[in-house]
A and B are shown apart, each in its own frame.
Chain A
Amino acid sequence: MKTWKFSRKSLGIPYAVFLLLFVALPLLVLVYYAFTNGEGHFTVSNLTGFFTDPNTLGTLCYSFAIAAVTTLVCLLLAYPTAYILATSNLKRKQVWLLIFIMSMWINFSLRMTALKEVLTLIEGNLARYPFLNAVVGMTYDFLPFMILPIYNTISRLDGALIEAAKDLGANDTAAFLKITLPLSVPGIISGVSMVFLPAMTNYVVLDMLYNSTYIMGSLIGSYFSAYNWHGGSMIALILLAIIIVFTVATNGADDSDRAGIGGALL
């Protein structure tokens, strides 16, 4: 019998156990509930039910719309900020960066309550602009997740590339469009995936800012409180599938872009 010897691989055991217990196992339970009915028989009716009901489909679209607009707004705000921060000659850049992400250190519900009051001051009656409020709330919450990765990518760019581009006659705009922007795409992609996916489910923002329309997260919750664990599990699973598709797609784009950058630099 082979005796057990401590190796580097053994260091992975705690994480493997964690993964098995808290990720794999719950996922299996989720799949079980998603594909069974109240009597425990196999069924796909939860799946077909989701895609034939205009209300659940509408919820998917609504969540998607909130997430898409939030991501766009975050990107438009974060990119210039990160760019300026990364390329400026400011001393103590890290301190500046901290100022931008400091809001993350304050408790979430406190931030949202404050935002609620500020928005009430501006809008008068919050309930008139539920979609806008959701987007503002999400942007407020997720902006740091967009700034950080973009800042990191841009600040690691090799300055020599831009000098070279300028030597070859490119003006500032051309150098930015041909060099900096394409090379910062990986940062943009990781920022987008860190904002877009949570924004589809973070219903607490909507709750706190008085948007009474369900998004995916609240829809799942409502199924569970109606004791419909099967329907709720299926929606959670569908959401998971969307996330996987999204991740794979962006990885693909990531690779091809790197190839593209390589090509462009030739």
Chain B
Amino acid sequence: MKMNYRMAALGAAFAVAFSALGGPYAAEARVESFSEDTITLRIANWEDYIDYGDWDEEETIELESGDIIGERNMVDEFEEWYEETYGKKVKVEYSTFGTNEDLYNMLTLGDVYDLVCPSEYMFMKLMTEKALVPLSDEFFDENEENNYYIRGLSQYIRDIFDSHEIDGEKWSSYAAGYMWGITGIVYNSDVVSPEEVSTWKFLNNPKYARQITIKDNVRDTYFAAVGALKSDLLLSDEFRNAPDYPKRLEEEMNDVSPEMIAKVQDYLQEVKDNAYSFETDSGAADMITGKVLANYQWSGDSVYTMDRADEDEFTLSFAVPEEVTNIYFDGWVMLKSGIGEDAEKQHAAEAFINYISRPDNVIRNMYYVGYTSVIAGGDDQRIFEFADYNFSAEDDEEDTVEYPLGWFFTGDNEDEDYIITAPSEQLHRQMVSQYPSQEDISRSCIMLNFDKEESEALNRMWINVRCFNIRNVPVWVWVLTAAALAALIGLYIRRRIYIRSLE
């Protein structure tokens, strides 16, 4: 997700200042003042991360199974749907946040939410801190018609959420996925060749000095740096064919030993000197205006970047480096501090997750946000239909390729019902960033949540990379400064003596 973390951090700084005064009271004052038959649901989500509606007529998604259009804000629609379906009024207080860290700071300072949508490492952190309420058993009942989430969840994502544990508890017991993506490189294919961007070493490629922008955040840069530094190992057949490859890949990529951190710091220092800049939210714009040739980007944002460039008739491409890619998730979790033991509220929160997992709503959100939903649709074909609608080749297109997506939609990549016949150029375009190939995905791994000490070491490393080291001050600057200081003092003394002589 887009982040402007320094702004957020400053906000947090002010919040800190006031927490001592107003924190606890402010939190209490928020307790609902609605009548008893209305459930108040406080939701915090990323900015621009759900369909706000108001689409133009021509934006209608014309699937064979029917048109889909976002006319109104999905949150409002949920309130109506809930009342119609369950006969209870619900009022959603919807807020947004800019970064995971921002959300965490808000929670620490006493803001109360019932349902929030952080990235995987942040819900792992919240799980570690025992701050979450587990999802109910009813939520996982596949026979219940309105349980769109569990009935539509992609088998692949489901396995990941089931196989990862925190303190012996599965992710899936606490978190319901929302959107997911991978990391890769958006590039201008007129200048940069696919071979060059097929490795993380690209970020340090002197041929493109000062022409690459890089995400301004420690986790993403660390991942890319480790990918580049361990490139030889990660690409070796021996490593790839090892029986426990996925496990070993995860270990290698989550290596935060002091030696590795030191190496990454040196490496990132070089990257900083080679890059155009670290960017927080100018990545897409700089690619489109042609200021830079490549941008280290999240797949969801890369879709947006390429779409925007297409409007200007300017073609950009997306590459997934061959060593490894970082697969990440944003997931809905319920907070103890908000939901507590309130079963009605929990029901409404889970219904919200189900509502936005209904295939037509999934398509609206994916269209609006650009990211890929964890929902495959189950029996409902519409989500695949939407992918096919987006990427399949025209009838007269000659250069096409068969692109199987069974790995995501059914778990069986051979499944003939889930193959898109796409123009070959889509292998480097939106299709591959929205739905990576099974091969790319087989080389993906999760970046875990690090404990306090490890996180501190990482943050320290990042600050060191970004700071100007005093040892790099050239000698002439020291001399000049000393001379200027001496001159100032001299002038001051002369003036004093002069004044005294007048007295």
Contact = CB atoms under 8 A, between A and B. Distances in A.
A225 B467 contact: no
Given A212-B272, A213-B468, A266-B502, A126 B9 contact: no
Interface string A193-235: 0000000000100011011111000111111111111001100
Interface residues of B, number: 54
Interface in B98-113: 99, 101-102, 104-105
Interface stretch (B11-19, B159-167, B230-238, B394-402): B11-19
Contacts of A25: 17, 20-21
Contacts of A260: 495, 498-499
Contacts of B101: 225-227
A57 B498 contact: no
B499 A227 contact: no
A228 B496 CA distance: 46
Contact of B468 (A33, A62, A128): A62
B468 A224 contact: no
A159 B105 CA distance: 59
A256 interface: yes
Contacts of A227: 101, 104-105
Contacts of A221: 5-7, 9-10, 13
Interface stretch (B54-62, B71-79, B170-178, B455-463): B455-463
A54 B469 contact: yes
A55 interface: yes
Given A58-B467, A219-B467, A225-B99, A128 B210 contact: yes
Contacts of A81: none
A58 B473 contact: yes
A207 B216 CA distance: 11
A120 to B, nearest CB: 6
A68 B32 CA distance: 53
Contacts, number: 141
A59 interface: yes
Contact of A58 (B8, B216, B470, B498): B470
A97 interface: no
Given A232-B13, A259-B499, A225 B470 contact: no
Contacts of A125: 210-211, 276
Given A61-B470, A65-B477, A55 B464 contact: yes
A127 interface: yes
Interface in B110-129: none
Instruction: Tell me which of B6, B102, B210, B499 has the highest count of chain A C-beta atoms within 10 A of its own C-beta.
Output: B6
A133 to B, nearest CB: 10
A256 B17 contact: no
A131 to B, nearest CB: 10
A211 B492 CA distance: 36
Contacts of B472: 58
Contact of A214 (B20, B468, B503): B468
Nearest to A38: B452
A23 to B, nearest CB: 10
A210 B276 contact: yes
Interface in B423-470: 455-456, 459, 462-464, 466-470
Contacts of A80: none
B459 A256 contact: no
Q: On chain A, which size bracket covers the interface?
A: 35 or more
B277 interface: yes
A181 B492 CA distance: 16
B275 interface: yes
A132 B12 CA distance: 31
A179 interface: no
B291 interface: yes
B279 to A, nearest CB: 8
Contacts of B469: 54-55, 58
Nearest to A57: B470
A256 B495 contact: yes
Contact of A225 (B6, B17, B471): B6
Contacts of B210: 125, 127-128
B6 A29 contact: no
Contacts of B471: 54, 58
B13 A54 contact: no
Nearest to B466: A214
Contacts of B17: 25-26, 29-30
A50 B287 CA distance: 38
A45 interface: no
B262 to A, nearest CB: 14
A253 B13 CA distance: 34
B46 interface: no
B409 interface: no
Interface in A68-99: none
Nearest to B214: A212
A266 B502 CA distance: 9
Nearest to B463: A222
A29 B17 CA distance: 6
Contacts of A247: none
B498 A218 contact: no
B278 interface: yes
B280 interface: yes
Given A61-B473, A62-B467, A125-B210, 9 more contacts: A29-B19, A32-B20, A58-B470, A58-B473, A221-B5, A226-B459, A226-B463, A256-B492, A260-B495
8 contacts: A55-B468, A58-B469, A128-B210, A219-B463, A219-B467, A226-B463, A228-B459, A233-B16
Interface of A: 21, 25-26, 29-30, 32-33, 54-59, 61-62, 65, 120, 125-128, 203, 207-208, 210-214, 218-229, 232-233, 236, 253, 256-257, 259-260, 263, 266
Among all A-B residue pairs, the 7 with the closest Cβ atoms? A26-B17, A221-B6, A210-B277, A226-B459, A58-B470, A55-B467, A224-B9
